[in-house]
């Protein structure tokens, strides 16, 4: 969570961890207007899967795959806000991402339960972060309800 949070914070995306219990979505990203930096009161959810070291499933120099459990896939697709799946490897601090709703809009992909990450396109690195922030902003739809995590400041 700290690796992901730091990476997102570096481009001004606010990441709110849902809590210590691992019972669902790992956190929420509050979106900002990429040109003005203003928060939008729009949200997407984040699901993080990590491994300490070693190769990802079917990993090559260019890609790897992640096989979703059926119950997880149904849970994410049932969300009323977009879900982004982040896959991280702690040994080299690589983080990759995919929009779950966008990826599984294809029936064959949904049936296979497999997400294919293309390293050059899907890595959440310093070069990709501004574009990621802009693309993620397009996922949010005004009017969707997410519980507020805002606290009053003193």
* pLDDT, position 47: 93
Q: Phi first, then psi: give them for residue 37, nearest 5 degrees.
A: 85, 0
- Give the separation between CA 32 and CA 151, rounded to whole angstroms: 18
- Give the separation between CA 4 and CA 47, rounded to whole angstroms: 11
CA distances (Å), 98 to each of 20, 85, 144, in order?
24, 5, 20
Write out pLDDT tens, residues 116-153: 999 999 998 877 766 777 677 676 565 554 444 444 44
Task: Write down the pTM of the prediction.
Answer: 0.83
CA dihedral 78→21→90→62, nearest 10 degrees, is -10
Write out pLDDT tens, residues 57-87: 999 999 999 999 999 999 999 988 889 999 9
Between 125 and 22, residue with greater pLDDT: 125
- Do 104 and 77 form a contact (C-beta atoms < 8 A)? yes
CB atoms within 10 A of CB 148: 9
Q: Is the pLDDT of residue 36 over 50?
A: yes
Q: Is the pLDDT of residue 99 over 80?
A: yes
Average model confidence (pLDDT) for the chain?
A: 83
């Amino acid at each position: 969570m700290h690796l992901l949070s730091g990476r997102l914070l570096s481009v001004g995306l606010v990441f709110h961890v849902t809590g210590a219990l691992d019972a669902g979505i790992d956190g929420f990203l509050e979106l900002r207007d990429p040109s003005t930096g203003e928060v939008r009161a729009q949200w997407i959810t984040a699901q993080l899967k990590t491994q300490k070291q070693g190769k990802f499933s079917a990993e090559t120099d260019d890609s790897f795959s992640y096989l979703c459990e059926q119950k997880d896939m149904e849970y994410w697709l049932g969300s009323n806000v977009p879900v982004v799946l982040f896959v991280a490897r702690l040994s080299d601090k690589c983080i990759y991402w995919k929009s779950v709703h966008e990826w599984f809009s294809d029936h064959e992909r949904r049936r296979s339960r497999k997400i294919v990450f293309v390293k050059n396109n899907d890595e959440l690195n310093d070069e990709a972060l501004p574009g990621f922030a802009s693309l993620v902003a397009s996922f949010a739809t005004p009017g969707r309800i997410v519980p507020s995590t805002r606290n009053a400041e003193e």
